[in-house]
């Protein structure tokens, strides 16, 4: 059976992994000011930040619409027996709901509400692609993914709350207070939604290094299969290399992925965001 694995563009997987596993990606729309762009096609995250910082224009994202999902599903099913389509948490976007409407009860199309974002989705997509390559059925993949998504440990440290404020996900007062106090919150994804965890004080670079220690040091509930170091533009390559070396020094993970967040995630998290995303061994 030939199975097409697809995802919306919030999965943030590196291009080489998308191509290696023949994963298809459907892009959300990013609006800066009054102009619309296709995530990852005609706008990159670094260009997004340049535009927002220079014009102070608001930015927001729009879900893939039903018509576009109908088109891509029809195209996939011309050459595949089944489609498994992954989507950002339904608490954060209408992508999953729109995909369900487009699927219209077609049993060949399985839609997955990942209850997550960014490479939290990406890790699930990779697992599904690997299972499909190894001959698993669509139902076997769906059942495995429904279990795996509950084990995701997804968090980020952000440099500024300004972008979350612009997107209506935090108050202006909270953003101002955090910036004045040089606080860098850890954003955690739990039960399909984002929440604030520990807050770090000092430079973003020092905060990220402390965050890595907090996540990995003495943590015996980590699935060692793979971790994604996911970041938005703004951090130097030298610093990103040091982050990867620090994660590697713990000698926990069999595979370390580094992934740059796309426009959709970056639009809300802002520049100089970095997170570790991996599976837990158990709930």
pLDDT at 205 over 70: yes
pLDDT digits (tens, 9 = 90+) for 66-112: 999 999 999 999 999 999 999 999 999 999 999 999 999 899 999 99
Res 194: pLDDT: 85
pLDDT at 24 over 60: yes
3-state secondary structure of 28: coil
Higher-scoring residue by pLDDT: 57, 25: 25
Residue ranges making up the domain that contains 101: 3-29+63-150
Q: What is the CATH number of the domain that holds 222?
A: 3.30.1180.10
In this structure, the answer to whether residues 91 and 7 fall within a common structural domain is yes
pTM of the model as a whole: 0.94
- Beta-carbon neighbour count of residue 133 at 10 Å? 13
Res 171: pLDDT: 41
Residue 116 lies in a domain: yes
Residue 173 lies in a domain: yes
Average pLDDT estimate for 206-210: 98
Res 161: pLDDT: 76
Return d(Cα 269, Cα 278) in angstroms, integer. 19
For residue 85, what is the enclosing H or E element?
strand 82-87
pLDDT at 34 over 60: yes
* Tally of domains within the chain: 2
DSSP string for residues in 178-243: HHHTTEEEEEEEETTEEEEEEEEES-HHHHHHHHHHHHHTT------S-EEEEE-TTS-HHHHHHH
In this structure, the answer to whether residues 132 and 7 fall within a common structural domain is yes
In this structure, the answer to whether residues 215 and 135 fall within a common structural domain is no
In this structure, the answer to whether residues 144 and 254 fall within a common structural domain is no
In this structure, the answer to whether residues 213 and 135 fall within a common structural domain is no
In this structure, the answer to whether residues 87 and 167 fall within a common structural domain is no
- Beta-carbon neighbour count of residue 238 at 10 Å? 8
- Residue for token pair 């608001």: 58
> Contact at 8 Å (CB) between 114 and 150?
no
Residue 15 lies in a domain: yes
Beta bridge partners of 195: 188
pLDDT digits (tens, 9 = 90+) for 168-182: 544 433 443 445 346
With bands split at pLDDT 50, 70 and 90, how would you rate the model's confidence at 160?
A: confident
In this structure, the answer to whether residues 161 and 246 fall within a common structural domain is yes
User: Any idea what DSSP says for residue 39?
Assistant: B
Q: What is the CATH number of the domain that holds 14?
A: 3.40.50.10170
Average pLDDT estimate for 195-206: 90
**Mean pLDDT computed over every residue of the chain:** 92
In this structure, the answer to whether residues 223 and 235 fall within a common structural domain is yes
């Amino acid at each position: 059976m030939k199975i097409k694995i697809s995802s919306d563009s919030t999965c943030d997987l590196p291009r080489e992994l998308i191509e290696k596993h023949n994963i298809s990606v459907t892009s959300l729309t990013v609006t800066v000011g009054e102009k619309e762009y296709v995530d990852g096609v005609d706008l990159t995250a670094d260009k997004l930040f340049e535009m927002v910082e220079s014009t102070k224009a608001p930015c927001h994202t729009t879900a893939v619409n039903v018509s576009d999902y109908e088109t891509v599903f029809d195209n996939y099913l011309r050459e595949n027996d089944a489609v498994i389509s992954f989507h950002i948490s339904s608490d954060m976007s209408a992508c999953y709901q729109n995909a369900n409407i487009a699927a219209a009860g077609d049993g060949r199309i399985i839609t997955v509400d990942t209850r997550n974002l960014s490479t939290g989705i990406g890790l699930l997509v990779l697992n599904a692609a690997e299972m499909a390559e190894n001959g698993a059925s669509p139902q076997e993949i769906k059942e495995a993914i429904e279990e795996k998504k509950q084990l995701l440990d997804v968090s980020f440290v952000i440099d500024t709350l300004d972008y979350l404020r612009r997107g209506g996900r935090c108050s202006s007062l909270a953003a101002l207070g955090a910036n004045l106090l040089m606080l860098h919150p850890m954003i955690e994804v739990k039960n399909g939604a984002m929440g604030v965890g520990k807050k770090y004080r000092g430079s973003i670079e020092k905060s990220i290094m402390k965050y890595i220690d907090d996540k990995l040091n003495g943590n015996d509930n980590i699935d060692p299969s793979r971790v994604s170091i996911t970041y938005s533009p703004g951090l130097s390559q030298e610093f990103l290399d040091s982050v990867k070396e620090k994660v590697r020094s713990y000698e926990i993970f069999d595979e370390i992925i580094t992934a740059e967040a796309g426009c959709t995630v970056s639009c809300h998290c802002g520049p100089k965001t970095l997170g570790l995303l991996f599976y837990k061994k158990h709930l």
